Amino acid sequence: MAEIKGQAHPKPSGHRRNRALLLGGALATGILTLFVIPVIQAVQPATARTSARTTGSKATKSVLKTPQASPASPHVNVLSAASLGPLETIVQTLNNCGPSSVAAVLAYYQIYRTEAQVAAVLRADNSYWGMSPVDLPAYAQSMGMRALVGYGGSEKLVKLLISSGFPVIVSQYVSSSDPVRHYRPIEAYNDRTQTFVSADPYLGAEHTISYSEFSAIWAESDYRFQVIYRPSQAKLLAAVLRAAGWGAKSTYGAAIRWEEAQIDTADFGNVGSWIWYNGRIDIAFDEAELGQYAKARATLVTASRQGVSSVAIQWVSNEIRRLQQA
């Protein structure tokens, strides 16, 4: 856990610090190896899965292209209710709600990785703040998948994604009463009950969140979300993004301005705070997604002089090279 964008909280002390670390860790409810054969209800297209598990290792990263809409893009609609689950609920260990969420979504696509396997790649920097998503596109690509790391999500976008067969990972607080940073995969929603449903790595299987709370606890991260998808789904995803009014250029530009505003806060002066660690890494990533490669490299130089992890800096450097080669 402890993984959302936003103004950083100081490291907790006493029992609160233990609480935050356990929220990122093993004090979670759910079923570690719960495995069912789910179906998509009222969703097109359905995604079939089997119970045959495979194991794998890290692979070489390759180029990822942001999905682009085309005149042939399929039509998509927001349904009144849809479900992709239940997704596999993978109980997290310390600060690993991000890797657990990624593993749960990969399992939906019949790609089985343990939390530890995912964390070995996506938390190689061993950050106190948990997983940074900047290496997720490369990691997905290494398994023949694709990934979108986005900001500026909306309730409509999440519904469209689920209605169209895409589980979505959101970066939020645990709850309004428990403002600890957290990743969770969303598997369902229902307009009648006004709720989203998550295979939550901390709070357990089929955890429900009201629409109003969902928005409130998502705002702190600038509405960050991640979508892992098959290359064959690129046109469908582009249609979903277009229907939701989500555009990469405006979104990444707004994210950079948001991150720069966070760097201007007093909390940036606290070495090791969330924004101190992640701020310039995220800006460089967003600049790269906009094709501003020289600016992204300059931002990484500043981050290096600041003392940010060389592992995180290398992730974005790899992303720049991959995008340039695409």
Q: Is the domain 14-246 a CATH 3.90.70.10 member?
A: yes
Q: In the chain, what percentage of residues exceed pLDDT 70?
A: 78
Query: Are 188 and 82 in contact, with CB atoms under 8 Å apart?
Result: yes
Question: d(Cα 311, Cα 288) in Å, to the nearest integer?
Answer: 17
Residue 33's pLDDT is what?
Answer: 34
For the ranges 46-55, 97-106, 154-163, 245-254, the lowest mean pLDDT is seen at 46-55
Q: How many residues does the chain have?
A: 326
Query: Are 118 and 138 in contact, with CB atoms under 8 Å apart?
Result: no
Q: What is the pTM of this model?
A: 0.79
Q: In the chain, what percentage of residues exceed pLDDT 90?
A: 73
Q: How confident is the model at residue 283 (pLDDT cuts 50, 70, 90)?
A: very high
Query: Are 80 and 73 in contact, with CB atoms under 8 Å apart?
Result: no
Query: Are 129 and 265 in contact, with CB atoms under 8 Å apart?
Result: no
Count of Cβ atoms closer than 10 Å to residue 210 Cβ: 13
Amino acid code (one letter) for 256: I
pLDDT in tens, 123-170: 999 999 999 999 999 999 999 999 999 999 999 999 999 999 999 999
H-helix or E-strand spanning residue 225: strand 225-229
pLDDT in tens, 92-108: 998 999 999 999 999 99
Task: Tell me how far the alpha carbon of residue 18 is from its chain's centroid.
Answer: 24
What mean pLDDT value characterizes the chain? 83
What would the two tokens of residue 307 be?
A: 């003392």
Instruction: Say which DSSP state 103 is in.
Output: H
